[in-house]
Amino acid sequence: MTRLWDKGAPLDARVLEFTAGEDHRLDERLVAYDVRASIAHAEMLEKQGLLAAPELRSIRAALTALAAEHAAGAWHIELAEEDGQTALERRLITRIGAAGERIHLGRSRNDQVLAALRLYLRDAVAELRAGALAVAAALDALAAREPGTPLPGYTHMQQAMPSSVPLWAAGFAAEIRDDGEGLAAVLRRIDKSPLGSAAGYGTPGLDIDREATRVRLGFTSVQHPVTAVQLSRGKAEAQLLFEITLLLQDSARLAADVLLFATREFGFVTPGEAFTTGSSIMPQKRNPDVFELIRARSATALGCLVEALALCAKLPSGYQRDLQLLKAPLFRGIDLGLATLAILPPALASLEFHAEAIRLDPDTRAAEEANRLAVAEGIPFREAYRRVAAKLRK
């Protein structure tokens, strides 16, 4: 943080700092996607006779090279370039001259950045889903590893009925797989091609082919009408953050169980030492920090979701600069989702259950007893319930 504002920096530097903000860093992950979308756009222009074949070849080669160099760390977007789109076009022009000045025909930064973002989000969704499935698989493995380990089934944090480690793990696995499906469902909003909507009002005076870019980039449909494109900003983003929040809330509940079961008083489970840390003053402590931080990250996800929704709220239609700020909570949410999903499988694999320490209160059989009594004697359930309750009170 340069904190230009309190150092008498020149005005234009302060305005640049305020408006560009951290965009140059955030846009780093979009460069490769911008290149793909830009090449598709250029190919469409050539097909429509708006770009000559040699120019297309030159653009394609230069963009491909720029992408490769960027991936190799040879260049980064600079603050002075404001954003990734400007950086790419500037470097393209530097490299190939006038041909580079032709690429922005028939598009605006508004549809350009959205195309790159949606291509990125498709990959992010795939990665998040794979992460969710890996967590579910780790829960399956845990269940398989502890086939006979009992566990009290709790309601209201009180022992209620008999359960088991496999049944406990299977419940979480099912919900985390459900979260994976929820993530996949976000693709409905992502998978629409914005290209050709330009600033939100199309490209008058130009004969472009929106279907051509859609096909090249593998989008499911072209987003119609052009005015819908900017109105839709923030909705796919918010839905992805919403699904990440559900996923991280499920992970947090899993972590809350582990933290409870790992107390000295429960003594059901011990997290692997690699997933704990020590204390700065208590020589005896091993703290289950990893599971605490998994619990905590659900709060960060909620913050990201609220920020994304609030950014779009009440804005008049048409592109507004406010929408640029969506990237920060979006990327933060994706990153914390991926990080949490990545640490969970080894953390779950490290759990050591202590079957011998897990004791079920005999009363947890009371519901079963009432069930059996009702069936055996043909009496109403309520009567069986009262009889079992009376017996227990003695």
Q: Which stretch binds a second copy (CB under 8 A): 71-79, 114-122, 211-219, 222-230?
A: 222-230
How many residues belong to the site for a second copy (CB under 8 A)?
170
Pick one of 60, 145, 228, 270: the residue that binds a second copy (CB under 8 A): 228
Catalytic annotation present for 104:
no
Pairwise CA distance, residues 204 & 224, whole Å: 16
Residue from 221, 224, 279, 354 carrying the catalytic annotation: 279
Map the chain to HEC letters. CCCHHHCCCCHHHHHHHHHHCCHHHHHHHHHHHHHHHHHHHHHHHHHCCCCCHHHHHHHHHHHHHHHHHHHCCCCCCCHHHCCHHHHHHHHHHHHHHHHHHHCCCCCCHHHHHHHHHHHHHHHHHHHHHHHHHHHHHHHHHHHHHCCCCEEEEEECCEEEEEEEHHHHHHHHHHHHHHHHHHHHHCHHHHCEECCCCCCCCCCCCCCCCHHHHHHHHCCCEECCCHHHHHHCCCHHHHHHHHHHHHHHHHHHHHHHHHHHHCCCCCCCEECCHHHCECCCCCCCCCECHHHHHHHHHHHHHHHHHHHHHHHHCCCCCCCCHHHHHHHHHHHHHHHHHHHHHHHHHHHHHCCEECHHHCCCCHHHHHHHHHHHHHHHHCCCHHHHHHHHHHHHHC
CB of 376 to a second copy, least distance (A): 9
Q: Does 188 engage in binding with a second copy (CB under 8 A)?
A: yes
- Single out the segment in contact with a second copy by CB under 8 A; choices: 70-78, 118-126, 160-168, 211-219: 160-168
Does 8 participate in binding a second copy (rule CB under 8 A)? no
CB atoms within 10 A of CB 303: 15
Rank residues 215 and 309 by Cβ distance to a second copy and give the closer one: 309
Q: How far is the CB of 69 from a second copy (least distance, A)?
A: 20
Contact by Cβ (8 Å): 26, 120: no
Of residues 34, 200, 351, 353, which one binds a second copy by CB under 8 A?
A: 200
The site string for a second copy over 328-367 (x = CB under 8 A, - otherwise) reads xx-----x--xxx-xx--x--------------x-xx-xx
| Residue whose CB is less far from a second copy, 69 or 188 | 188
Kindly state the smallest distance separating residue 91's Cβ from a second copy, in Å.
14
Q: Which two tokens stand for residue 272?
A: 């692997």
Q: How many CB atoms lie within 10 A of CB 28?
A: 15
Which stretch, 32-40, 73-81, 115-123, 185-193, contacts a second copy (CB under 8 A)?
185-193
* Contacting a second copy within 284-323 (CB under 8 A): 284-290, 292-293, 295-300, 302-322
- Specify the residue for token string 């955030």: 26
Options 257, 330, 348, 353; binder of a second copy; rule CB under 8 A: 257
**What residues numbered 80-139 form the site for a second copy, per CB under 8 A?**
85-86, 93, 98-110, 127
Does residue 157 interact with a second copy by CB under 8 A?
yes
**Within positions 35 to 54, which residues make up the interface with a second copy, using CB under 8 A?**
50
185 forms part of the interface with a second copy (CB under 8 A): yes
- Binding a second copy (rule: CB under 8 A), the pick from 73, 147, 148, 283 is 283
Q: Is 368 in the site for a second copy (CB under 8 A)?
A: yes
- Nearest distance, CB of residue 133 and a second copy, angstroms: 14
Segment lying near a second copy (by CB under 8 A), choices 56-64, 71-79, 117-125, 148-156: 148-156
Q: Does residue 172 bind a second copy (CB under 8 A)?
A: yes
The verdict on whether 76 is a catalytic residue reads: no
Residues acting as catalytic residues: 156, 279
